[in-house]
Structure 1
Amino acid sequence: MKPERPSFSVVAERRFRLAGKAIIERHNPYFLPVDRQREICERNGIPFISFAHYDYLGLSQHPDVIETSSAELHRLGSGVGASRLVGGERSGHRAFETELAEFLGVGDVMTLVSGYLVNVSLINFLMGPRDLVLIDELAHNSIFVGAKNGRYEYRTFDHNNLDDLERQLEECRGEYRNVLVVVEGLYSMDGDIPDLPRLVEMKEKHDAWLLVDEAHSYGVLGETGRGLCEHFGIDPRRIELGVGTLSKSFVSSGGFVCADKSVIDWLRFCLPGFVYSVGLSPATLGAAQGALTHLKANPQRVARLHENSLFFRDHARDCGLNTGDAIGCGVVPILFATPEQTMIVSQTLLDAGIYAPPIVQVGVPKDLPRIRFFISAEHTRDQMEKTIGLIAEIVASFDGADAEPRPAIAGA
């Protein structure tokens, strides 16, 4: 008699438990309805502060951005109805891509409906048999998903360890037709950056291609927010491929590819994630256009973001908190000893109206739990001091025995 096969729901339950269900059984800090939480805080006389959203330039509620998005919605409707290749595009698609390419200093730009989809689709499409992809071990999940689905070999190198990368290139470059090196412009879990000048020198020496995922660095790094190349003073055209997102500094949604114009012209007809996906909706495109226009006219927002980020990192370190290798630009993590401590800190912050969810087992090693703080140009010095002071108090109260998580604000 065959053993009874477990149901789909039973299998899902087992995998959920293995993924860390026990940590959140008594209190779940995830999937919080943020608008309702804000209303609850205000009703209780508690100012609501969010460090959970990557609105680096503080533009998501800006009247200019909302107006531009709303105008496109009313002018063109809610959707574009098809892939741009087979259903045509709107004039705003190409106009925005051209303006964004000029701003970033690259040959051309092509937008896609999902930032995650860009990496999954692009790497797998470009690379083939007898090719190699070398990826920083802390690169985004979308990069690894793209790499694992390909017909090529992929390997990792130690995070930001370019000696390890150089060793691998020297040992195996001759065995492969094409080699693609993949890094991020600003690592979203650690807030650190790669040594781009050495990367460029290395990839040119070994005749490799370089892809820089600047999802978190466009709008953040550089004097005017043009990203990692501006931060280091390097011509962006020396980078074969750039990847960005519209969901962060451009407060919209979707992603984009930067490359030489001839490459983008080719990808418009061939890249699966573009050819077989719908184009950006008018409201989405309008919001991104409004954010780009505002950023170009107001570079002081980038300067204010830099000032806030450095203050947050330095003040946290002065209070004895562990911010790892963060450079203090946009993303600043605070690391804790255990997942339980991380959950307690996050929950206590929420009780005080400060939204900063814990990261304990997704996207980071299990022994390096943290709360990741996204700093905005709109955060005030008082908000940052209040947050760091409260965290320092909680950490000082830990005596080796973790307390039980408490419920969040009543009604949350």
Structure 2
Amino acid sequence: MSRAYIRPIYIQELEELMSQIFDGNKVICYTSTSNAHISVIATIIKSNDLVILDQQVHFSVQFPCKNTKLQGTEVKMVRHSDYRMLEEMIRENYNKFNRIWYMADGVYSMHGDLPDTDVLKSLLCKYPKFYLYFDDAHGMSWSGKNGAGYIYDRLGVSERIVIISTLAKGFGCVG
């Protein structure tokens, strides 16, 4: 049932407990990582945004981005972890869009490699219209304080960073 109509007390309790993993920051729980991506991407991405997908970002991120094209959002792809290509795309498109989103995995499931968070921090500082969206499903539990994940540990909290994670991988739970 939609949470717009009903919000069971146990969901509120779960979100409050989960927020402790993330130092008290706001947490919203979904039934699956894929459902989170579908809902969040549809909510935050606007027609005057540019979305740049890392070539290896999980399909559950790529799929809802295809739907944003229906509202006129431009979606491009960059070679896997090619930060020079990413910055070139940012520069070329900076004055054409309100926000430029880079969507990537926190830990890539196929190869286990990690994004260069130092480079991404630098890009965040250099370009105020630049935003990050991470699927850190594979970084949860084994990395960071309280198992909050690789991306949260390396980048922290920002109005320009969205982190989607899950208990289903490292913690071995569903959801």
2:136 aligned partner: 214
Question: How far 1:230 moved relative to its partner?
Answer: 5.7
Question: How far 1:196 moved relative to its partner?
Answer: 1.1
Report if the CA contact (8 A) 1:221-1:230 is conserved: no
Q: Separation in 1 of the partners of 2:121 and 2:39?
A: 24
Report if the CA contact (8 A) 1:115-1:246 is conserved: no
1:320-339 aligned at under 5 Å gives the runs: none
Q: Separation in 2 of the partners of 1:106 and 1:239?
A: 18
Report if the CA contact (8 A) 1:211-1:241 is conserved: yes
1:136 alignment partner, one of 54, 60, 64: 54
Question: How far 1:157 moved relative to its partner?
Answer: 1.0
- Shift of the 235–114 alpha-carbon distance from structure 1 to 2, 3 Å rule, reads closer
Question: How far 1:171 moved relative to its partner?
Answer: 1.1
Question: How far 1:163 moved relative to its partner?
Answer: 1.1
Q: Answer yes or no: is 1:203 the counterpart of 2:124.
A: yes
- Shift of the 239–131 alpha-carbon distance from structure 1 to 2, 3 Å rule, reads closer
Report if the CA contact (8 A) 2:134-2:151 is conserved: no
1:364 aligned partner: none
1:123 aligned partner: 41
Q: Separation in 2 of the partners of 1:235 and 1:115?
A: 20
Question: How far 1:240 moved relative to its partner?
Answer: 2.2
Q: Separation in 2 of the partners of 1:108 and 1:138?
A: 28
Q: Separation in 2 of the partners of 1:205 and 1:223?
A: 28
- Give the TM-score taking structure 2 as reference length: 0.87
1:139-288 aligned at under 5 Å gives the runs: 139-150=57-68, 151=71, 152-207=73-128, 208-222=130-144, 224-229=146-151, 231-232=153-154, 234-237=155-158, 240-254=161-175
Report if the CA contact (8 A) 1:122-1:146 is conserved: no
RMSD: 1.9
Question: How far 1:110 moved relative to its partner?
Answer: 0.5
Q: Answer yes or no: is 1:109 the counterpart of 2:27.
A: yes
Q: Separation in 2 of the partners of 1:228 and 1:238?
A: 18
Count of residue correspondences:
171
Report if the CA contact (8 A) 1:107-1:237 is conserved: no
Question: How far 1:135 moved relative to its partner?
Answer: 1.1
SS at match of 2:95: helix
Report if the CA contact (8 A) 1:210-1:240 is conserved: yes
When you count helix as a share of all residues, which structure comes out higher? 1
1:212-237, Cα deviation, whole Å (9 max, x unpaired): 111110112236522124653x4334
Question: How far 1:132 moved relative to its partner?
Answer: 0.5
Q: Separation in 2 of the partners of 1:126 and 1:214?
A: 18
Q: Separation in 2 of the partners of 1:143 and 1:198?
A: 22
Q: Separation in 1 of the partners of 2:136 and 2:13?
A: 21
| Structure showing greater relative contact order (alpha-carbon pairs closer than 8 Å, 6 or more residues apart) | 1
1:379-402, Cα deviation, whole Å (9 max, x unpaired): xxxxxxxxxxxxxxxxxxxxxxxx
Structure 1: tracts of 5 or more residues without a match:
1-81, 255-412
Structure 2: tracts of 5 or more residues without a match:
none
1:127-157, Cα deviation, whole Å (9 max, x unpaired): 1222110111100001111111112011111
SS at match of 1:188: coil
Q: Separation in 1 of the partners of 2:140 and 2:103?
A: 17
Amino acid at match of 1:212: F
Amino acid at match of 1:132: L
- Give the TM-score taking structure 1 as reference length: 0.39
Structure 1 segments of 4 or more deviating over 4 A? Answer: none
